[in-house]
Structure 1
């Protein structure tokens, strides 16, 4: 991947410090803009935020402000094909999970070059959490730890009750439509945004089998996950039907040697009347404190290990 570091101040809409363009990473025709919200101290811990499927990075602005108030620097970018990344998914535009993992690696190259003193952590939501965990399993020395929020396995048997069969049906139907059209038109169906066929096939295969076998990759990710030892924070969210506790536990159990801290974000903890798979982003003040405390503990233990 290629990268550059053109900078351009952009208001983050949060009332806090403005974000700016840290640089761009590209692979072939794909180009991703990487933004950052810094702390004054260049050695402040830094989280790289990976969005959910179909969710633009700008949606996380309130949560980024919460993290920044906790003393954390934040790097954010749109997943390939989403938000301001280009090109969008379409027939003939091919990428899957492995491409997203490679994109994270390129973003970390940029972060290491621009902010070399900052301890680095990945923070993923939903699909972003899966990609964060898979990346760390393949490249275990690039970050100090991984935090997953509302992120679980899509394996249909990890869902409770009748949701098992609904999950299996929906995921396989999405893969079928994607194969027929050459992409997934999620904006028409109100789910997942516009996505590449290979990405949806990776997603549906994991839903069907419970295992990560990725298009275009020879990496044994199941074996790599079993060897992962980095600190892992998992946060399930009250009212989340897309990543219930059982699916969060199934994903985390793949990294059975990781030093896991498990938390559950409730309405009372958040102060919000309603939470769920997406609503926590706008009610993340207490969650950001949990993440900051976990990062302090994880960094301290890694320094003294």
Structure 2
């Protein structure tokens, strides 16, 4: 098998007219792994973990959160999207584009490997019909938790509360979050759309997905989330101040009937470094699939 250290780039065309380049790493015949970034992190940052998984026989693809990295979308007063659009459009289209490039059937087993915000959107995605149709068999999060302020302590809790207020102010003033107000960017997420920041703010203040699903034809979002039964594991490193264990547990609580766990990983790779030093995460990810027969 040829191990690809550089990705094949294919495009996913988004309904708003933007384009999302997908980083595809061919692997073997094992489940497809689709990686989703966190706020403010481009897809290219995750190439080492994707290449490592491909070398282990997992075809892998890295999605780009709309408006970040190489995505051509640009948030503005008249260009907005939220968690629901990411889940129903971007997640679906990236998986479809990766499978088409790799010659995989629509139902080929697929596992989401998510970071931070990527895991929040993936939680919503699992509750939608597209997930089983596309063969999504599990979710493995790293540093993925709810931004609910009560799960944080000290300065981080303060930054989240201040950030929630500033995001609301930015949305009112500019119709989007411009990246900073008066030079202040409390969380370093960069330019982001109004609906996305409103969804994040609602999770941060109330730990509720109601705002994500409201107005999108989902009669009961709690029932939809309760219908998820796929195995889920949210992990974190012990020195990850952006995702304490309580944050992962708060996100896991939205999936009451899933085989869901929360776990600390050995090592001190923080919130981001694991993507560049992939051994620990790749080992635990592989065991997660083996434990669940995926």
Q: Same fold (TM over 0.5)?
A: yes
Corresponding residue to 2:141 among 128, 142, 148 = 148
Following the alignment from structure 2 to structure 1, what is the Cα–Cα distance between the partners of residues 252 and 45? 25
Distance in 2 (CA, whole Å) between partners of 1:36 and 1:176 is: 38
User: 2:273: which partner in 1?
Assistant: 279
Cα deviation for residue 291 of structure 1 reads 0.4
Aligned counterpart, 1:56: 42
Structure 1 gaps of 5+ residues are 1-14, 268-273, 301-305
TM-score w.r.t. the length of structure 1 is: 0.83
Match among 194, 199, 221 for residue 202 of structure 1: 199
Q: Is the 8 A contact 1:23 1:33 kept in 2?
A: yes
**1:138 is aligned to 2:128:** yes
Native 8 Å contact 1:160 1:246 kept in 2: no
Cα offset, 1:286, TM superposition:
1.7
In 2, distance between residues paired with 1:60 and 1:282? 7
Q: Is the 8 A contact 2:11 2:19 kept in 1?
A: no
Structure 1 vs Structure 2 CA RMSD: 2.2
- For 2:242 and 2:54, how far apart are their aligned partners in 1? 27
**Counterpart-to-counterpart distance in 2, 1:299 and 1:35:** 26
Deviations 1:241-275 (A, max 9, x none): 111100100101111211124321232xxxxxx42
* Partner Cα separation in structure 1 for residue 191 and residue 259 of structure 2: 35
Counterpart CA distance in 2 for 1:217 and 1:80 is 19
Provide the residue aligned with 1:119 in structure 2.
109
CA contact (8 A) 1:49 1:75 kept: yes
Distance, in Å, in 2 between the alignment partners of 1:281 and 1:193 is 20
- Equivalent pair of 1:70/1:292 in contact (CA under 8 Å): no
Q: Structure 2: how far apart are the matches of 1:239 and 1:199?
A: 27
- Cross-structure match for 1:26: 14
**Correspondence 1:77 to 2:63:** yes
Task: Decide whether the 8 Å contact of 1:234 with 1:252 is kept in 2.
Answer: yes
Task: Give 1:137 deviation, angstroms.
Answer: 1.4
Write the deviation string for residues 173-217 of structure 1: whole angstroms up to 9, x where unpaired.
222223312221227636112111111011101111110122652
SS of match in other structure, 2:292: helix
**Partner of residue 6, structure 1:** none
Supply the distance in 1 between the matched residues of 2:264 and 2:217 (Cα, whole angstroms).
Answer: 35
1:90 Cα offset (Å): 2.3
2:241 equivalent to 1:248: no
| 1:271 corresponds to | none
Change (3 A) 1:16 1:29: closer
1:108 aligned residue: 95
The answer to whether the 8 A contact 1:229-1:258 is kept is: yes
Note closer, same or farther for the CA distance 1:76–1:216 as it changes in structure 2 (3 Å cut).
farther
> How far is the alpha carbon of 1:82 from its aligned partner?
1.0
Question: What residue number does 2:290 align with?
Answer: 296
Query: Runs of 5+ in structure 2 lacking a partner?
Result: none
Taking a change above 3 Å as real, the CA distance of residues 265 and 119 of structure 1, as seen in their structure-2 partners, is: same
What is the total number of aligned residue pairs between the two structures? 278
* CA–CA distance in structure 2, aligned partners of residues 279 and 178 of structure 1: 31
| Match in the other structure for 2:166 | 173
Partner of 1:226 in structure 2? Answer: 226
- Alpha-carbon deviation of 1:34? 1.9
Name the structure 2 match of 1:263: 263
For residue 9 of structure 1, what is the aligned residue in structure 2? none
The structural deviation recorded for 1:16 is: 4.2
